[in-house]
Structure 1
Amino acid sequence: MAENAAPTHQPPTDAPTRSTVRSLLRLKPYAYPIRWYLVGAVAAALVASGAVLVVPLVLGRIVDGPIGHHDQAALWPLIGLLLLLGAAEAGLFGLRRVLIARPLARVEATMRDDLYAKLQRLPVSFHDRWPSGQLLSRATSDMYTLRLFLAFPLVFLVVNTLTFLAGSVLMLTLDWRLGLIALVPAVPLILLCTHFESRYSAAARIAQDQNGDLATVLEESVLGIRILKSFGRQRTMARHFAERAELLRGTELRKAWMLADLWAVIVGLPELALGCALAVGSVLVAHDELSAGTLVAFLSTALALRWPVESLGWLLAYSNEAGTAADRLFDVLDTPEQAEPEPASVVSNGDGIRFTGVRFRYPDAPAGTPDLLRGIDLHIRRGETLALVGATGSGKTTLTALLPRLYEATAGTITLDGQDTAQLPLARLRELVSVAFEEPTLFSASVRENVLMGAPQAGPEQLERALATAQADFVHQLPQGVDTEVGEQGLSLSGGQRQRLALARAVVGSPEFLVLDDPLSALDVHTEALVERALREVLGDTTALVVAHRPSTVLLADRVAVLAGGRILATGTHQRLLETCPEYRELMSGESALEASVTR
């Protein structure tokens, strides 16, 4: 792969007009609550730097005074002053760290909390488009970069600039001729830094995006380790990881070369100017136009300004890193959320679930392709269970995802007891609708916490009832029973056990509306029969939409709807559709086809 290949996520389209300063200014709401800590840190560092600039004056006084006049008695107070200035510098720089360490940790936590909360509010379509590693890198490495910027570069950009200005004034005051010589490199350095900023910022953004791509590969490798080992594809994934790592390495090396070039000039030009000033100063001292003490004070001041000047490269580089990290943070925070309707008092009419003219296409669907759902009209009466069947890829799972608004319908309306779901607050809608997905997802938590995620207010009796309905009594055989941690993704359990816990999570709150996406696909025949028997009681008290692939699941329903070509092709009882709908007979082929021939 090419070393400069594009990352998964490019900078915004307005990147050429991007400004690091504008990007960093967007952090103001986070930095404002700790502004006085930052002011205190800047003040402490400024006073410490001021102490550093006083040292050359004391040295000049020593050379022209006690040394020049061989007055040993006058030397000791000045040496004591130097020690005092050194101690003050060390203490004040230590105070700066103490002042901002805890507040900045709080700022980092606040930014990370805001990012996490935003990710929870964003629609599923957003998460479909974004690799998880990109989001993880924003929540970890980018947050760390921003905290360090507020702790060091932000403070020292102010402190070093003011120190440099004060030192320049001091050098010009000591001798304006030498001062002008020493300050000549300032103009080319300003031009160079301006050029460096634009180039380094683009490279920093690419590196951070490539770091997110690398995190994605790593996460996929960890989560899919069983598949990789089963198929012996560890080397393939390792090669893929190495390619991504090599891309990142190339970008980081490019950044290092840019910084090295800048640093060479930043260090070299001032040293050259200082050498010229030393030569001219020596001539002036030889002609008695300048005292030796003044020359020592001037050179000491110039040396004291080496850190403010040489740190410029590091400060600029890190500020650009922080600016791109801020851009990446606000890439997510600026993403529009689903509009929340105003709460309205709508009287339920007991109409059940109704789809009217519902259309849907994925946002990234190729232009010119037809909608996945092309006008769904479907009514599930209150208290009824409807099975939804269709060929693979017909849109069954997508249709069920529209009900809790995991995706927003492109057109049409969906109502629950006469209430338009688009007008219901999401929190209220998801209290009404409970979902069990075909691919069960469990979290690194206990069995109890995973199941009660479906109804946090549920008590022990409801928990046990839900576990019994899902035939999940196996949890009582676990080391700590329902308090046993199931591990990441629940991979310490079998597929059937995970599916049963996901089903228990869906029914624990006795929801008014229930969506089950082929919830029994991972169960053995015996367990499936037991779950179906228990489910019939649950389904008798709710309005349910069940995605079904097998005849046994279809038989749980009062009616069946056949989805084909983006529309509902037919609805009716299982037996009626076997007799009248060839597509349904084909879907239910095998046992059902034989059953249909016998009944005829």
Structure 2
Amino acid sequence: MALGRMGTVFCGAQIDIRHRFLMGSLLRRNMLERILKRPGARALVETPGETLNRFRDDTQQVVDQISMTVDSLGFVITTTFAVVMLAHISWKITLLVFAPMVIILAITQAASTRLEKNREASRDAAAKVAGALGEMFGSIQAVQVATAEEQVADHLQRLNAERKRLVLKDRLIVHLLNSIYGSTISLGTGLVLILAAGNMLEGHFSVGDFALFAYFLEYVTDITMFIGEYWALYKQTGVSLKRMTEILPGEPQAVLVAHNELPLKGKLPDDRDGAGAFEPLICLETENLTYHHPESGKGIEGINLRLKKGAFTVITGRIGSGKTTLLRTLLGLLPKEDGEIRWNGTRVEHPADFFTPPYTAYTPQVPVLFSETIRENVLMGFPAGDAEIEQAVVGAVLETDLAGMEQGLATVVGTKGVKLSGGQMQRVAAARMLVRNAELMVFDDLSSALDVNTEGAMWSRLFARREATYLVVSHR
């Protein structure tokens, strides 16, 4: 029996390690896939910090539940054998062995609502702290300019104190339940052994029967404790699954565990393999293109647009008139409510998938840079040589700035480009777009942070690159 238990534990450990890694990876892969398939301008419904909290803590909670489920197989096998042996010795006393299990299940069920509420509150508090930290690190300059360091630190301290209180409350009820489980099992075991000892005095039990009964009783008490802990964890896991699906609005929980390949070895698959032949732009058209922001009801309606190859088209208008909304809807970053988009007369069914290099390159109104070098921010994995990078840098009027930097293209820009000026950030983003040499170049108010001379030089150089087609939003 002992050897069998050791073997079961060993096999369970091997399976557990594999399941923990694979299930955690699968859950995170499926969540990331669904987020990436959402419209780009509305991909995250929570702050990045809160989203990461769900990827980390809530995913780990689900993995723990799966691991415990795997452990249950070994418990069931050993407990079944132990119950058979106990019943063979005395079936009447064996029935009393399960009394603590009934009590534990009743206690857990009574506490289930409190378990769920406490876990949800503690997770939300931890997410708020993570979200606040992310916003702080991304807004260092704004905090310094407003001399609000002390206030921001106090705010973070209050959030962290609330997180500490709720996490302690959550863990307290879990440990309290475990203590009640242990005490209930100990009392029940003691009463069972007293009854067994009484039967031994009456001659119904031999010393050997009593020793076997006491030995196998441990296996039944183990699973009784396991069931209580498992049920509590199950309730908490329901909270984690709910939080994970909250960042995937409109998606069923089944997408979290959908079967997908995890390419852990070898070359990563290329989703572009098998795509249709590249078709250079001749004419881009929109007909009755419509989108309204759900929060305000504002947006665009019935937009008809026609761009021919080599055109330089500028969209202008007052602030809030829908210029950026038009670009985002055209590119699939916002889901169109009505209308058609056609590339050379062929309807574009999925704009977000289609309007990518080599068809389209896009620079948003607020450029996004990563805490890497300028070269890495320009390329972002794109296969381009030094000559192509130099051409993109010149087109973005960035060469003079790079000459003044000691590291040149190897200069690290800091978090969100904090080490660069606003104009330099915009021109790095422009170089990123130009190096891709797409058919359609889309600028969203690119020159808003540029001085007049730099802006003039950039537009002159872009006019000289007339092999591409340009769609530009400008307030000027």
| TM-score, with length taken from structure 2 | 0.82
2-structure distance, mates of 1:362, 1:344 = 33
C-alpha deviation, 1:197, in angstroms? 4.1
Report the equivalent of 1:3: none
Runs ≥4 in structure 1, deviation > 6 angstroms? 342-349
2-structure distance, mates of 1:128, 1:92 = 43
Is 2:331 aligned against 1:404? yes
Q: 1:312-351, aligned counterparts within 5 Å?
A: 312-332=227-247, 335=250, 350-351=282-283
Letter in 1 for 2:39: P
1-structure distance, mates of 2:395, 2:129 = 43
Q: 1:72-111, aligned counterparts within 5 Å?
A: 93-94=9-10, 96-102=12-18, 104-111=20-27
Is 2:393 aligned against 1:467? yes
Residues 1:476 and 1:121: Cα distance change in structure 2 (over 3 Å): farther
1-structure distance, mates of 2:455, 2:403 = 19
Q: 2:30 aligns with which of 114, 121, 127?
A: 114
Report the equivalent of 1:19: none
Residues 1:288 and 1:355: Cα distance change in structure 2 (over 3 Å): closer
Residues 1:358 and 1:286: Cα distance change in structure 2 (over 3 Å): closer
Q: 2:451 aligns with which of 519, 524, 542?
A: 524
C-alpha deviation, 1:222, in angstroms? 1.6
Residues 1:336 and 1:515: Cα distance change in structure 2 (over 3 Å): farther
Q: Deviations over 1:465-500 (max 9, x none)?
A: 110111212335545543444343222322222111
Q: Is the 8 A contact 1:343 1:424 kept in 2?
A: no
Q: Deviations over 1:140-170 (max 9, x none)?
A: 222333333333x122233334433433332
2-structure distance, mates of 1:133, 1:400 = 28
| TM-score, with length taken from structure 1 | 0.67
2-structure distance, mates of 1:220, 1:493 = 19
Report the equivalent of 1:432: 359
Report the equivalent of 2:263: none
1-structure distance, mates of 2:228, 2:144 = 46
Report the equivalent of 2:152: 237
Q: Deviations over 1:267-317 (max 9, x none)?
A: 233322222223333333333332233223323333454433223333323
Residues 1:169 and 1:541: Cα distance change in structure 2 (over 3 Å): same
My pick for the range that moved more, 404-413 or 162-171, is 162-171
Q: Is the 8 A contact 1:433 1:512 kept in 2?
A: yes
Q: 1:406-555, aligned counterparts within 5 Å?
A: 406-422=333-349, 426-427=353-354, 431-453=358-380, 456-473=382-399, 474-475=401-402, 478=405, 480-538=407-465, 540-550=466-476
Residues 1:433 and 1:224: Cα distance change in structure 2 (over 3 Å): same
**Higher gyration radius (CA):** 1
SS at match of 1:498: helix
Residues 1:221 and 1:424: Cα distance change in structure 2 (over 3 Å): closer
Letter in 1 for 2:54: R
Identity %: 23
C-alpha deviation, 1:521, in angstroms? 1.9
RMSD after superposition:
3.4
Q: 1:200-279, aligned counterparts within 5 Å?
A: 200-279=115-194
Letter in 2 for 1:166: F
Residues 1:99 and 1:315: Cα distance change in structure 2 (over 3 Å): same
Residues 1:265 and 1:520: Cα distance change in structure 2 (over 3 Å): same
2-structure distance, mates of 1:345, 1:101 = 44
Q: Is the 8 A contact 2:104 2:228 kept in 1?
A: no
2-structure distance, mates of 1:427, 1:311 = 52
Q: Is the 8 A contact 2:105 2:228 kept in 1?
A: no
1-structure distance, mates of 2:139, 2:247 = 26
Q: Is the 8 A contact 1:118 1:332 kept in 2?
A: no
Report the equivalent of 1:375: 302
Aligned residue pairs total: 454
Report the equivalent of 1:308: 223
Residues 1:255 and 1:166: Cα distance change in structure 2 (over 3 Å): farther
SS at match of 2:429: helix
SS at match of 1:232: coil
C-alpha deviation, 1:333, in angstroms? 5.8
Report the equivalent of 1:390: 317
Report the equivalent of 2:40: 124
Q: Deviations over 1:301-344 (max 9, x none)?
A: 3345443322333332333333433444445567469xxxx989
Residues 1:115 and 1:477: Cα distance change in structure 2 (over 3 Å): farther
Q: 1:156 aligns with which of 32, 46, 71?
A: 71
My pick for the range that moved more, 207-216 or 509-518, is 207-216
My pick for the range that moved more, 216-225 or 472-481, is 472-481
Gaps of 5+ in 1: 1-49, 52-84, 551-600
Residues 1:471 and 1:94: Cα distance change in structure 2 (over 3 Å): same
